Amino acid sequence: MKKWLVLFFAFAFSYTAADAQTSTQKASYYHSKFNGRKTATGDIYRDYLLTAASNIYKLGTRLLVTNKKTGKSVQVVVNDRMAPHIKGRVDLSKSAFTRIAHTSKGIVPVEVKVLEGKGDDSNTL
């Protein structure tokens, strides 16, 4: 019986840990006036690149951002920070945003999933 309990809890905690890498947020996009400015990583911002700014994820983290209404997705890399008072939002490059929504929408509800790979293992702050 103890063996089953151990297996049950091991499965439950592993499922919860994997699920913690996905969250519901809002997505907005950078205005074109930021083209040519340095990001927190030192890269130059270009609105045609698939990048994002976030206060939740570490720089270099790869994210899959999915529009909850349309189901359209885009992969981005976090290369900048947002203002500290902005919570629960990921700011996409204009090119990334247009892959999931029209820019006239401004802010859209999204699901954000941390992707494995480039970046370090502990992707959230």
Residue 109 has pLDDT above 60, yes or no: yes
| CA angle in degrees (0–180, nearest 5) for 50-115-48 | 0
pTM, to two decimals: 0.76
Question: Per-residue confidence at 4, pLDDT binned at 50, 70, 90?
Answer: very low
Over residues 59-84, mean pLDDT: 95
Over residues 94-113, mean pLDDT: 95
Beta carbons within 8 Å of 20's beta carbon, 6+ residues apart: none
Instruction: Compute the distance between CA of residue 97 and CA of residue 21 in angstroms, rounded to an integer.
Output: 21
* Contact between residue 93 and residue 47 where contact means Cβ atoms under 8 Å apart: yes
Least confident piece of the model among 52-56, 60-64, 85-89: 85-89
Token pair of 86 as six digits: 């902005």
Q: Provide the 3-class DSSP secondary structure of residue 24.
A: strand
Residue 48 has pLDDT above 80, yes or no: yes
Buried/exposed 24-57: b ≥16 CB within 10 Å, e otherwise:
ebbbbbbeeebeeeebeeeeebebeebbbbbbbb
Question: Per-residue confidence at 24, pLDDT binned at 50, 70, 90?
Answer: very high
**Residue type at 73?**
S
Token pair of 21 as six digits: 């890498």
Q: Give the side-chain half-sphere CA count within 13 A for 11.
A: 6
Which residue's structure tokens are 């890269």?
43
